Amino acid sequence: MDQRTFGHLMVAPLVEAPDGGVVPDVVAHIAPDPLDPLFDEEAFAAALRRKRTGIKRALLDQSLVSGIGNIYADEALWRARLHGERPTSGLRKAQVSLLVAQVRDVLREALKEGGTSFDGLYVNVNGESGYFERGLKAYGRGGAPCERCGTPIRRDAFMNRSSYTCPRCQPRPRGARPAG
Ligand SMILES: [Zn+2]
């Protein structure tokens, strides 16, 4: 079992996965995570362009890609200098590649620090907030200077949670309203 997917014990029927293996039926509809060898960047880019949504919502959409929680999405978007409200349909291929590369880096670093890919679980198994303390550039840093440009990081409400962005490095797309 993939420790990054299963944080608790569960019993579920097994069904055939697209790769011919078997997975519990409850996760059969979940797309691979970006560190999975089965993750298909071309297919992901194509699916993004078909969606009528913002990038951050797409990153959190488990039918498109799994393993990315709210915190890791904010971190990857900050690194890629993309605002989460930017429409996925307007993303160029190079921007998708860059974003995927940043997501992978964030996930790898978090895993190395003992974090998990679960949203909100930025503490490691010993209850220490290693990655949260040391690695985060955007998430949870509202009002603190952006490490790239010094502009205060901005916090916006997002789907009952928060989004953290640098207003200068990640300009909000024109016409987009703050997400509530
Ligand atoms: Zn900045």
Collapsed DSSP state (helix, strand, coil) of residue 155: strand
147 Cα to the center of ligand 1, angstroms: 7
49 Cα to the center of ligand 1, angstroms: 26
Helix residue ranges, H only, 4-117: 41-50, 55-60, 70-80, 93-112
67 Cα to the center of ligand 1, angstroms: 26
Amino acid at 82: L
Q: How far apart are CA 103 and CA 88, in angstroms?
A: 16
Threshold 0.85, pTM exceeds: no
pLDDT values of the chain reduced to their tens digit, one per residue, 180 residues: 444 544 455 555 565 555 556 555 555 567 888 998 889 999 999 999 899 999 999 999 988 998 888 888 999 999 999 999 999 999 999 999 999 999 999 888 877 776 554 444 444 455 555 555 567 899 989 999 999 999 999 999 998 899 999 999 999 998 755 554
For the chain, which domains are there? 23-165 (1.10.8.50)
Q: How far apart are CA 56 and CA 77, in angstroms?
A: 8
Collapsed DSSP state (helix, strand, coil) of residue 154: strand
The alpha carbon of residue 75 and the mean position of all alpha carbons in its chain are separated, in whole angstroms, by 8
